[in-house]
């Protein structure tokens, strides 16, 4: 009987540990840094992505929007199985805000503190698909509601940590937020409303 109980407990422990690969979560990790930027000046509706001079490894992509800074901006870290092709196949790992610096164009603006995380459904030594998305909380309480927001491409992680395997760094790519442009139908409705109000005032 004792052997059966011990075997059952071991099996339960194995099931509990399965699908819990570990990873270092954050976009400011020294070797894999990818700062996030605000909307491009003069082209706020166009998203730019790619490694900048502040990324690690560095790149040549030029961002004219400032680095995101402080609690005004939120960032979500998502992860899931390597077969995932978009955010619908990923699980939210954590949500946090950005660090701040005295100089707006300098780090650690644009990056977050790092923390330990686990990826549900992906075991240690397996690769996971990773992605991040960020938004201006003054434009909306969540990413879905925000009018100023942006999401990065999906990246494949190194084998996840667990047991004797060291958790890998989160990987990604810098990108800029975009400002939503009103749909033509919305602009037309606004114009009709303004015209109606003007006619109503003239009649009075």
In the chain, pLDDT over 90 holds for what percent of residues?
Answer: 78
With 70 as the cut, is the pLDDT of residue 189 above it?
no
Longest dimension (CA), the chain: 92
Q: Residue 18: count other Cβ atoms within 10 Å of its Cβ.
A: 13
57: Cβ–Cβ under 8 A, 6 or more apart, which residues?
A: 51
pLDDT at res. 181: 81
Return the ∠ at Cα 130 (arms to 92 and 77), rounded to 5°: 35
Task: Tell me how far apart the alpha carbons of residues 195 and 40 are, in angstroms, rounded to a whole number.
Answer: 33
Phi, psi at 8, each rounded to 5°:
-65, -45
**Is the bond preceding residue 58 a cis peptide, omega within 30 degrees?**
no
As separate numbers, helices (DSSP H) first and strands (DSSP E) second, the chain gives 2, 10
pLDDT at res. 132: 98
pLDDT at res. 13: 45
pTM over 0.85: no
Residue range 82-86: mean pLDDT, rounded:
97
Task: Tell me how far apart the alpha carbons of residues 36 and 195 are, in angstroms, rounded to a whole number.
Answer: 41
In the chain, pLDDT over 70 holds for what percent of residues?
Answer: 79
Task: Tell me how far apart the alpha carbons of residues 74 and 97 are, in angstroms, rounded to a whole number.
Answer: 5
Mean pLDDT of the chain: 87
pLDDT at res. 194: 47
Per-residue pLDDT band for 202 (boundaries 50, 70, 90) equals low
pLDDT at res. 204: 55
Per-residue pLDDT band for 7 (boundaries 50, 70, 90) equals very low
Residue 137 DSSP class: T
Phi, psi at 201, each rounded to 5°:
-70, -40
Residue range 95-118: mean pLDDT, rounded:
96
Per-residue pLDDT band for 183 (boundaries 50, 70, 90) equals low
With 80 as the cut, is the pLDDT of residue 203 above it?
no
Q: Residue 167: count other Cβ atoms within 10 Å of its Cβ.
A: 21
């Amino acid at each position: 009987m004792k052997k059966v109980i011990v075997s059952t407990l071991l099996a339960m422990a194995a099931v509990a540990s399965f699908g819990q690969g570990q990873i270092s979560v954050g976009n400011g990790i020294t070797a894999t840094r990818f700062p996030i930027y605000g909307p491009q000046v003069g082209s706020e509706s166009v998203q730019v992505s790619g490694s900048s001079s502040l990324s690690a490894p560095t790149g040549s992509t030029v961002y004219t929007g400032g680095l995101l800074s402080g609690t005004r901006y939120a960032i979500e870290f998502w992860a899931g199985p390597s077969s995932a092709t978009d955010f619908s196949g990923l699980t939210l790992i954590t949500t946090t805000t950005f660090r701040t610096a005295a100089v707006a164009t300098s780090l650690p603006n644009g990056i977050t503190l790092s923390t330990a995380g686990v990826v549900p459904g992906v075991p240690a030594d397996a690769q996971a698909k990773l992605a991040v998305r960020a938004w201006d909380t003054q434009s909306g309480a969540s990413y879905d509601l925000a009018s100023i927001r942006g999401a990065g491409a999906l990246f494949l992680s190194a084998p996840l940590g667990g047991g004797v395997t060291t958790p890998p760094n989160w990987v990604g790519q810098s990108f800029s937020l975009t400002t939503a442009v009103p749909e033509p139908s919305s602009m037309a409705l606004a114009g009709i409303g303004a015209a109606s109000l003007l006619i109503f005032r003239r009649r009075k």
